[in-house]
């Protein structure tokens, strides 16, 4: 009985080890090189280029944030509110007239939530605005996204008014 139990235990342990090892992801150097860095923000399948400092393949990393007001979001949401749609439409008209080469959309959140969650939410907000611009006829290659999460608040307060002003997407026109 003990010998039989040991055989089964060994079999189950080995099978479990194989399953766990097959689920582990190895570091593939090619994936990191293909997108430029492991900290990419945005969806590589829709042509978003990561913004990771300096110039990235000739694209500027910064722009003029004073031309258009930010788009504000509801708590824990990445949907562009109908009241904010006009702001996105203004940016689309500006870019389609050739007045700017492109735009970097920066997604921001308030301080509530973990850093990781807020970076993901900031990314979803930037991508939602990007998708809206594309639906208005802006060339996708002229739009880049960047998530700053809670890292650069517009308002340093810790109340609802501050949080409301920090939930935003900012347009940096270049």
The mean pLDDT value for 58-80 works out to 88
pLDDT tens for each residue of 132-165: 999 999 999 999 999 999 999 999 999 999 999 9
- Closest Cα partner for 167 from 70, 100, 82? 70
Question: Which pLDDT belongs to residue 10?
Answer: 64
Strands 103-108 and 143-149: parallel
Is 63 within 8 Å of 104 (Cβ atoms)?
Answer: yes
Buried b (16+ CB within 10 A) or exposed e, 31-70: eeeebeeeebbbeeeeebbbbeeeeeeeeeeebeeeebeb
Residue of 42 and 57 predicted with greater confidence? 57
36-45, 105-114, 130-139: which range is least confident on average? 36-45
Q: In what side-by-side order are the strands of the sheet with 103-108?
A: 71-72, 168-173, 103-108, 143-149
Task: Show the DSSP H helices in 136-173 as ranges.
Answer: 160-166
Band of pLDDT at residue 26, cut at 50, 70 and 90: very low
The mean pLDDT value for 27-49 works out to 37
d(CA 103, CA 130): 9
Supply the pTM of this predicted model: 0.68
């Amino acid at each position: 009985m003990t010998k039989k139990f040991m055989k089964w235990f060994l079999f189950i342990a080995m099978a479990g080890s194989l399953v766990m090892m097959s689920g582990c992801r190895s570091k593939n150097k090619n994936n990191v090189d293909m997108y430029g860095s492991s900290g990419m923000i945005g969806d590589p399948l829709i042509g978003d280029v990561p913004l990771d400092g300096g110039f990235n393949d000739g694209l500027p990393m910064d722009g003029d944030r004073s031309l258009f007001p930010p788009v504000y979001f509801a708590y824990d949401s990445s949907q562009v509110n109908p009241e904010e749609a006009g702001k996105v439409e203004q940016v689309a008209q500006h870019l389609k007239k050739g007045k700017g080469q492109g735009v970097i959309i920066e997604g921001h959140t308030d301080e509530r939530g973990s850093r990781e969650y807020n970076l993901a939410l900031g990314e979803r907000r930037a991508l939602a605005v990007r998708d809206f611009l594309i639906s208005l006829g802006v060339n996708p290659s002229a739009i880049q996204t960047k998530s700053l999460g809670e890292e650069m608040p517009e308002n340093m307060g810790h109340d609802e008014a501050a949080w409301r002003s920090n939930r935003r997407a900012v347009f940096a026109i270049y």
